[in-house]
A and B are shown apart, each in its own frame.
Chain A
Amino acid sequence: MSTLELRPDISPVPQVVKSKRMPPVIRGILWSAIGFLVINTLISYVLDPRYGHPFITQVSITFGWFAAMVGWVLGVGAWEGAVLPAFGHHGTLYTAPGWKRFFEYSTEHKVIGLQYIGSSAGGFFIAGLAAMLMRLELMNNSMWLFNYPQQYLTTVGIHGTIMMFSVGTVALVGGLGNYLVPLMIGSNTSAFPRMSGISVLLVPFGIVTVALSPLLGYWSTGWRGYEPLASQDPSGILFYYLGVFALTLSSLLVSINLTATVIFKRAPGMTWGRLPMFAWGITTVSLLNIIWLPEIQLTFVMSLVNRLVPLPLFTATGSPLTYMELFWLFGHPEVYIVVVPALALWQEIIPVMTRKPLFARQWGVIGLIFVMMLSGFVWAHHMFTNMRNVEMMPFSFFTEMISIPTGFAYLVALGTLWRGRLKFNTVSLLVLMSMFNFLIGGMTGVFLADPIINLQAHDTFFVVGHFHYTIIGGMVFSWLAAMYYWLPKMSGRMYNERLGKIGAIWIFLAFNLTFSQFFLLGLHGMNRWVSVYPSYLQPMNFETSIFAFLLGLGFLFHLVHIWWAWRAGQKAEGNPWESKSVEWITASPPAEESFPVIPRIVSSTYTYDNDEPAVIIPSDGKRVATTS
């Protein structure tokens, strides 16, 4: 049992100066507005004036947006925190007490992690609202909620874009990764804390950009930005490119930071063979990000320039296919960027809950790495309708192959569960639900990998059901499990077990009743990307929508429950799950300096078959400075 726990030193409380400064977020918005006005005006009135002197042109808003982004990042605190020090100016870095730390620039990985989680949750509920509007519109087979078809398509696009780039890619990597990886490997900081402090600020900026895209005109491409449709779309597509640029840049910086952290910041004894599964998951996913995010950013920059100059990219015969290839080269690894950390979370949580050593750990790691590698070989299965038969076969083959390393994750989880005495609580319930949902998502994926079925089900709700099973079912359920599991660590408080279980069962039923019907709708002929559909599909769509609303309410229920537990839940013990993992030897919540003495890892942290601690605090360990 690792009953060891470090309490932070009782250091003198810093004196809170009563003099006020402008709230950093407000200053960021102000600087952002100034940056936008100056650059936008310069371009639209001086450098590139257009007939009739419109204040906003496509060119001016693009450059104005970049100025606004810089203004926002500097205004929130990067000016004092990163720019001035880079020029050798050692000013004073102000911090605010309490919850206000989360609303300003910070270099502390735990604050940044929670900022990422908060931003992701914000994106989740904004995009969730968009989903509710879509389901409301689809309750009737005519246009009754939206005035124009483009409004529906824009809503679909905003939903997909924000969910993929600010939730799927971000919540587990930028959020839990930033919070947990340094703690799990026994480090007080991440490798590049200032870069990390800046990168998190890009997430809310990107979300707001995409959410406000209709102000520039409705766009109809969805999160894929297909050409040449995008080049013909109204200007709202600009905010899609720009918002996604901010969000992907953020994820890229996270990945560089966390990869370096895992390589260089491990505590003594934390060998690669002992690296926790979640840290492995974050490492593999970060490598995927580092490979594929620059690729998609370049593609979007090409599309943006294509529009602004304008250039004839992607419009010549055959070129639209080039765009699709470029998009899905990133687009399919993206799916694994979303899901691999979730697989790692199962393997992190199940040994603790079953009190058994992790089964076949090496195969788990191999699975994660092979998923990462194979994910680059499957992209064209999104384009079977645009290919010759002979070209489909290798992609069909690799797509079916990738279920093998994914299966390793299942075997590791099942082997650990086998004959274990599972603690049946909200956390393990959500993990089991996630495994069930992802299994459905994966099995329907095997069907879709088969060209014969794919060509029939292509662009129907069958596909929509499939990927929602993998992403909500796999990733969002695991995210919730992780939030409950590490809630005592993050807040020092415990959730209510009964409410947690009610919430878990609620979303499990609502989720399955919604998305299993998507499969049936798809097989009956319900197309994606349409707000008006044949009337025989209306009754099923109507009741599917009702379950979708229940699902939305279920997620709100969890939000309120976690919020309440965070503030008013019962005080938790230091290590309520009796985990051997390194993060639990810190105080809950950890002090700014998580480890006053850097711990030493002496065995695997999954050895639940003995009572020897996996982590010791060296008695001769030197005290480390906060900012080493």
Chain B
Amino acid sequence: MANEEPQEKKKVEVDWSRRQFLIGTGALTVVGLGAMFLNEPVAAAVRSVFGQQPESGPITVLQGDYFYIPNYMTWRVGDQISMTIHNTSTTHFHEMQIGRGFNTMPTALQTIRTQFAEDFWKGVPVTITAAQGIDNFVTNEAKISSDVHPTPWLLTQPGNGGFSPTMKPGGQITLSFTVPNKPGIWHYACFVQGYMHWLAGMRGTINILPA
């Protein structure tokens, strides 16, 4: 019978190391707990110890539900950047606004944040070098040019809110630009679906170093 213990099989006692067992499982527990609860402090500590090289050239920002990878970037004024923003979600639209401060809107329950007050892209020349699966792209006050045929999703007229490419699930866009002379800490975020994505943690930080 398949589940009968075969008679001819011998049971031999062979010990194993308690120390290996405890160190192995203990280390994995620590890693698991760290990954669950301490990822942000650990990332910040690693950044502060090792610093972070400014990124330039082709870089990729992945969007998920509801996060960015990476959620921290370092740029330097004057560097040439070709940033591909890719929405990896299979279900949700996502955008990427960059700015500081918040425009707010009072509601019955709480005051909610609708978008950044100060738009990083104001006056910055940006070229769209590739695009696919775009729902809409509000350019606000950026100086936009495009290598691809941008209609009908490109919205250049004012009054549509801050600079924000909004990708459909699976969509991506590549923006080429020179980092403008706006050093300091900037934030990026997604405010779609009634600003719930920002609330759910879809945020990141850009540290722009002076030239």
Q: Which A residues contact B (CB, under 8 angstroms)?
A: 14-26, 29, 50-52, 54, 58, 85-86, 90-97, 100, 103, 107, 147-150, 189, 191-195, 208, 211-212, 214-215, 217-218, 231-235, 307, 310, 625, 627
Contact string against A for B residues 31-65, beta-carbon threshold 8 Å, 1 for contact and 0 otherwise:
01001100000000000000000000000101011
Known: A23-B20, A100-B18, A148-B200. A232 touches B13 (CB 8 A): no
Q: How far is the CB of A117 from chain B (nearest CB, A)?
A: 19
Contact at A193–B91, with CB atoms within 8 Å?
Answer: no
Q: Does B6 contact A (CB under 8 A)?
A: yes
Interchain residue pairs with CB less than 8 A apart (15): A16-B13, A17-B12, A52-B60, A52-B62, A85-B9, A92-B9, A92-B11, A92-B12, A93-B10, A95-B14, A96-B13, A148-B200, A194-B5, A307-B90, A627-B7
Cα–Cα distance between A20 and B24 once the two chains are bound (Å) = 16
Q: How far is the CB of B4 from chain A (nearest CB, A)?
A: 7
Q: Does B140 contact A (CB under 8 A)?
A: no
Interface centre among B10, B11, B13, B199 (most CB of A within 10 A): B13
Q: Does B92 contact A (CB under 8 A)?
A: yes
Q: Does B177 contact A (CB under 8 A)?
A: no
Chain B residues positioned under 8 Å from A58 (CB to CB) = 90
Cα–Cα distance between A262 and B199 once the two chains are bound (Å) = 54
Contact at B9–A93, with CB atoms within 8 Å?
Answer: yes
Known: A94-B13, A234-B65. A22 touches B20 (CB 8 A): yes
Chain A residues positioned under 8 Å from B15 (CB to CB) = 16-18, 20, 96-97, 100
Contact at A90–B9, with CB atoms within 8 Å?
Answer: yes
Chain B residues positioned under 8 Å from A50 (CB to CB) = 88
Contact at A26–B13, with CB atoms within 8 Å?
Answer: no
Q: How far is the CB of B165 from chain A (nearest CB, A)?
A: 16
Q: How far is the CB of A579 from chain B (nearest CB, A)?
A: 30
Cα–Cα distance between A147 and B35 once the two chains are bound (Å) = 16
Q: Which B residues contact A (CB, under 8 angstroms)?
A: 2-18, 20-21, 24-25, 28, 32, 35-36, 60, 62, 64-67, 84, 86, 88, 90-92, 170, 172, 199-201
Contact at B199–A51, with CB atoms within 8 Å?
Answer: no
Contact at A95–B4, with CB atoms within 8 Å?
Answer: no
Interface centre among B6, B14, B24, B32 (most CB of A within 10 A): B14
Chain A residues positioned under 8 Å from B200 (CB to CB) = 148-150, 218
Chain A residues positioned under 8 Å from B24 (CB to CB) = 23, 25-26, 29
Residue of B nearest to A625 (CB): B7
Chain A residues positioned under 8 Å from B18 (CB to CB) = 23, 100
Contact at A90–B65, with CB atoms within 8 Å?
Answer: no
* Top 8 A-B pairs, shortest CB-CB distance: A234-B65, A627-B5, A23-B21, A26-B24, A192-B3, A94-B14, A23-B16, A148-B201
Residue of B nearest to A228 (CB): B91
Cα–Cα distance between A19 and B12 once the two chains are bound (Å) = 12
Cα–Cα distance between A212 and B31 once the two chains are bound (Å) = 11
Cα–Cα distance between A51 and B86 once the two chains are bound (Å) = 8
Interface centre among B2, B16, B86 (most CB of A within 10 A): B16
Interface centre among A14, A23, A149, A215 (most CB of B within 10 A): A23
Contact at A54–B88, with CB atoms within 8 Å?
Answer: yes
Contact at A51–B170, with CB atoms within 8 Å?
Answer: yes
Contact at A150–B20, with CB atoms within 8 Å?
Answer: no
Known: A14-B11, A103-B21, A217-B64. A310 touches B90 (CB 8 A): yes
Chain B residues positioned under 8 Å from A95 (CB to CB) = 11-14
Contact at B3–A195, with CB atoms within 8 Å?
Answer: yes
Cα–Cα distance between A627 and B3 once the two chains are bound (Å) = 11
Contact at B201–A150, with CB atoms within 8 Å?
Answer: yes
Contact at B5–A147, with CB atoms within 8 Å?
Answer: no
20 more A-B residue pairs beyond the given contacts A15-B13, A29-B28, with a C-beta to C-beta distance below 8 A: A23-B21, A26-B25, A29-B25, A52-B60, A90-B8, A94-B14, A100-B18, A107-B5, A147-B201, A148-B200, A150-B200, A192-B3, A195-B3, A217-B65, A218-B66, A307-B90, A310-B91, A625-B7, A627-B4, A627-B5
Q: How far is the CB of B149 from chain A (nearest CB, A)?
A: 20
Residue of A nearest to B5 (CB): A627
Contact at B201–A232, with CB atoms within 8 Å?
Answer: no
Known: A20-B16, A191-B3, A193-B3. A91 touches B65 (CB 8 A): no
Q: How far is the CB of A423 from chain B (nearest CB, A)?
A: 40
Chain B residues positioned under 8 Å from A625 (CB to CB) = 7
Q: How far is the CB of A615 from chain B (nearest CB, A)?
A: 25
Report which of A20, A191, A195, A214 forms a contact with B17, defined as CB distance below 8 A: A20
Contact at B91–A17, with CB atoms within 8 Å?
Answer: no
Residue of B nearest to A151 (CB): B201
Q: How far is the CB of B83 from chain A (nearest CB, A)?
A: 13
Contact at A233–B65, with CB atoms within 8 Å?
Answer: yes
Contact at A21–B6, with CB atoms within 8 Å?
Answer: no
Cα–Cα distance between A509 and B89 once the two chains are bound (Å) = 48
Residue of B nearest to A189 (CB): B5
Known: A95-B11, A234-B64. A51 touches B20 (CB 8 A): no
Q: How far is the CB of A72 from chain B (nearest CB, A)?
A: 12
Contact at A96–B65, with CB atoms within 8 Å?
Answer: no
Interface centre among B21, B66, B172 (most CB of A within 10 A): B21
Q: How far is the CB of B3 from chain A (nearest CB, A)?
A: 4
Report which of B2, B11, B21, B36 forms a contact with A214, defined as CB distance below 8 A: B36
